[in-house]
Amino acid sequence: MLPFRLVYHERYDLNLGEHVFPSRKYRWLRERMLRTGFAEEDDFITPDPISEADLLLAHDAAWIGKLRDGTMSYSDILRLEIPYSRHMVEAFFLAAAGTTLAARLALEQGVCYNVGGGFHHAFAGHGEGFCAINDMAVAIRVLERDGAIRRAMVVDCDVHHGNGTASIFAQDPSVFTLSIHQFDNYPYEKPPSDLDIHLDGGAGDWEYLQRLGDGLGEALARFSPELMIYVAGADPYRDDQLGGLDLTFQGLEARDRLVIGTALRRQIPVAIVLAGGYANNVEDTIAIHAATAAVARDLLRAHTAQAVTVS
Residue 166 has pLDDT above 80, yes or no: yes
The gap from C-alpha 271 to its chain's centroid, in whole angstroms, comes to 8
For residue 298, the tally of other CB atoms under 10 A from its CB is 15
Specify the pairing of strand 6-7 against strand 195-199: unpaired
Output the pTM of the full model: 0.96
Domain membership of residue 66 (yes or no) is yes
Alpha-carbon gap, residue 163 to 128, rounded angstroms:
9
Domain membership of residue 1 (yes or no) is no
Parent domain of 150: 6-310
Alpha-carbon gap, residue 136 to 119, rounded angstroms:
8
Give the number of residues written for the chain. Answer: 311
Domain membership of residue 267 (yes or no) is yes
CATH at residue 92: 3.40.800.20
Domain total of the chain? 1
Contact 64, 55 (CB under 8 A): yes
Domain membership of residue 79 (yes or no) is yes
Residue 307 has pLDDT above 90, yes or no: no
Domain membership of residue 285 (yes or no) is yes
Q: What is the pLDDT of residues 272-302, one digit of tens each?
A: 999 999 999 999 999 999 999 999 999 999 9
> Containing H/E element for 25?
helix 25-35
- Supply the DSSP string of 196-224, one letter for each residue: EEEE-TT-BHHHHHHHHHHHHHHHHHH--
pLDDT of residue 179: 98
Alpha-carbon gap, residue 65 to 132, rounded angstroms:
12
